[in-house]
Amino acid sequence: MCGIFGVYNVEEASKLAYLGLYALQHRGQESAGIASSDGSKVYSYVKMGLVADNFTPDVFDKIPGRAAIGHCRYSTTGTSSIKNAQPLTVSYSRGQLAMAHNGNLVNADMVRAELEANGAIFSSTTDTEVIVHLLAHSKKNGFREMLIDALKRVKGAFSLVVLTENELVGVVDPWNFRPLNLGKKDGGYVLASETCAFDIIDAEYIRPLEPGEMVIISEKGVESFKPFKPAKQKKCIFEFIYFSRPDSYIFGQSVQKARKALGAELAKENIVKADYVIPVPDSANSSATGYARESNIPYEMGIIRNHYIGRTFIEPSQSIRDFGAKIKYNPVKEILNGKDLVVIDDSIVRGTTSRKLVKMLRRVGAKDINWRISSPPITHPCFYGVDTATRAELIAASHTVEEIKKYLKVESLSYLSIDGLVKAVGGKKEDYCLACFCGEYPVEFNAEPEKMGFEG
């Protein structure tokens, strides 16, 4: 994942980027950074940690100007360290630029090896730096042409915002794996992974970027190009299931509407008798309302989530059962004792969270526990910018639904079907990437899965 944001021609651009990143914090909590431009120079401030902790009032003097981009990072594989934090700011033959990337390139290792063989020295392990090196090495004339030239050499998922001294660029790969949206703010323009970042700064949502589209925002306004060979669009359907915030529009659609439809579809496919529908908060709240409405079973907040988990946690010296899960969740005995439940979660990855939650629910006296998942079983890892664990770790890669049911120790377990998923989200099946549910990868990768050490 990762959240990206850009703003052009506004007062206090870096403060707006800060607010935008704050709204996108759910997309990455490891590092947060902002690069800005005052028309003649690019400035940058990047730090490990959360947006609200990193940007104290004194920081904004270091990132002046009327244009800015921002990034909050979630590393897929490889190290989480400051050298990989973004935006990546560099000086090259034409001046300065800063780049922020959401997605994963599938040929970054090969291109990087080639560049290194020709003398390039990398300072990070991000695939984003591969794009920057390709751009700096390009023989084309001018920044735009050099950027297009660089992007034509890479394969995979990229939604990018790029800032130079006097331009802001937004660009999406031809498959459109990750969302990027265009908005308006006073006399300026805004780009963001999700539209919840527009709402927080009172910007007006214009539209999503199209597959393979590049927008150049400058003194001339917004210019749109389609510089790449067209491909079949493959929007990440997991954005609707889990990653994006329900109050956002992505790919031109409401996430909340899609998520409620996921729950309703799940109920249509597999209804069960119970006293309550309980969401695993917060990611299943919306789909559980859809399930409850469709099934006519009352919705209850039977599990409460603690939102204030810090980055480091002092573990108790004595062992406390299911400690990890207890930091995050606590069941409400008053509601659950003696009741039959339908518990809704958005997905099962390794199965550890669900198993621990079931134990917690039993301890407060829940009777029948019917586990319902508003997505199909995750059988394959993602190579396009999401950490869905390795194949060996994915419980549904090697276990049947019946076996997972036994592992979780629930009365029943069922997942949403792939067809039900597409029906709920809307649109055509071929327009979505469904690889983690079926193994049909829309863009081939060259490396062994375990060697995919690049990040975005």
- The Cα 248–Cα 422 span in angstroms is 19
Given a contact cutoff of 8 angstroms between Cβ atoms, the answer to whether 341 and 276 are in contact is: yes
Instruction: Say whether residue 240 binds ligand SF4 (CB under 6 A).
Output: no
Establish whether 382 is a catalytic residue.
Answer: no
Among the listed ranges 17-25, 106-114, 328-336, 384-392, the one in contact with ligand SF4 (CB under 6 A) is 384-392
Nearest to residue 450, comparing CAs of 86, 109, 157? 109
Q: Is 253 helix (H, G, I), strand (E, B) or coil?
A: strand
Among the listed ranges 41-49, 77-85, 382-390, 399-407, the one in contact with ligand SF4 (CB under 6 A) is 382-390
We find the least distance from the C-beta atom of residue 321 to ligand AMP, in angstroms, to be 16
Classify strands 276-279 and 341-345 as parallel, antiparallel or unpaired.
parallel
Instruction: Say whether residue 394 binds ligand SF4 (CB under 6 A).
Output: no
Instruction: Say whether residue 249 binds ligand SF4 (CB under 6 A).
Output: no
**Alpha-helix residue ranges (DSSP H) falling in 57-142:** 108-117, 127-137
What torsion, rounded to 10 degrees, do the Cα atoms 274, 307, 261, 301 define? 20
Per-residue binder mask for ligand AMP (CB under 6 A), 358-397, x = binder: ----------------------------xxx---------
Which residue(s) pair with 70 in the sheet?
5, 34
Instruction: Say whether residue 22 binds ligand SF4 (CB under 6 A).
Output: no
Q: What is the footprint of ligand SF4 within residues 55-114 (CB under 6 A)? A: none
Per-residue binder mask for ligand AMP (CB under 6 A), 249-288, x = binder: -------------------------------x--x-----
We find the least distance from the C-beta atom of residue 436 to ligand SF4, in angstroms, to be 3
Instruction: Say whether residue 2 binds ligand SF4 (CB under 6 A).
Output: no
Q: What are phi and psi of 59, to 5 degrees?
A: -65, -35
Q: How many alpha carbons lie under 13 Å from residue 217 in its C-beta half-sphere?
A: 25
> Of ligand AMP, ligand SF4, none, which one does residue 384 interact with (CB within 5 to 8 Å by kind)?
ligand SF4
Instruction: Considering the candidates 2, 72, 196, 433, report the single residue annotated as catalytic.
Output: 2
We find the least distance from the C-beta atom of residue 434 to ligand SF4, in angstroms, to be 6
Question: For the residues of 179-210, what is the DSSP string, one character each?
Answer: --EEEEETTEEEEESSTHHHHTTTPEEEEEPP
Among the listed ranges 73-81, 90-98, 233-241, 352-360, the one in contact with ligand SF4 (CB under 6 A) is 233-241
Q: Compare residues 280 and 341 and give the one whose CB is closer to ligand AMP.
A: 280
- Distances, alpha carbon 169 to alpha carbons 90, 98, 182, 191, 222, in Å: 16, 10, 11, 9, 9
Which residues are tagged catalytic?
A: 2
